[in-house]
Amino acid sequence: MQRLSDKVAIVTGAGQGIGAAIARRFAEEGAQVAIAERNPETGARMAAEISGDTGATAISVVTDVADRTSVEAMVAEVTDRLGDPDVLVNNAGVAVFGDPLSITDEDWARCMSVDLDGAWHCARAVLPAMRARKNGAIINIASNHALQVIRDTFPYPVAKHGVIGLTRALALQYAGEGIAVNAISPGYIDTPIAEWYFKQQPDAAAFRRETEAKQPVGRLGRPEEVAAVAALLASDEARFMTGANLVIDGGVTIRMYE
């Protein structure tokens, strides 16, 4: 079933991991996909892979979501090459973890500029065309850090709580204009970044087993599982859902202390 036929979708930070899985799933569902990625090499490579594997149109546009001018140029290029965007997935993000009184002003600014400001820059750039057509879907990738907080992960959860607030505010503002705005909060997903983090530990395999054992389902999530939910939210089937935050974390946030 191609639920996204004839739709144009922008996925930020889609050069790898969750974003790449979402872009690929959208292409499989019939969408034309724009990968808005800061790294030109990974973005171009993923666009080529998706086009070759699915036959769908996939392009890459170098984008720094923290820079409003860069975002506006990206949306203008996507519109020129593919048409007005029907779907936006704000997936680009950066994990900045630390002790609140130890992080620098630069740490705070980097986290907020990408994780929160970046989502707003992209939403602001696509909303005028969506409002004109009275149709659109915006999906913000938040985190289970938006629901529960771990010590020494500051200010990442602050930004992700803000993403939920942005989602709800925009959802209510444009609910009557045919635009659905929702969020997805993934837990521990098996991405290249997670694999890199495991390899920084003295015993990568042991640390991975320990991490998996902490998940109620006994494993890490797969990027494809997040992509499946994003495809639903991007489709016309889910347009009565707006302002929601769908948690995909294997049960972590519903578990009390043990």
Q: Which residues are marked as active site?
A: 156
Q: Which token pair is 164?
A: 């939920």
CA distance 22 to 198: 23
Instruction: In whole angstroms, give the CA distance from residue 49 to residue 14.
Output: 12
- Look at the block and give the residue holding tokens 């048409």: 83
Residue 116's identity, in one-letter code, is L
Rounded-to-integer distance, Cα 253 and Cα 258, Å:
13
Reduced to 3 states (helix: H, G, I; strand: E, B; else coil), residue 138 is strand
Cα gap 159→161, rounded to integer Å: 5
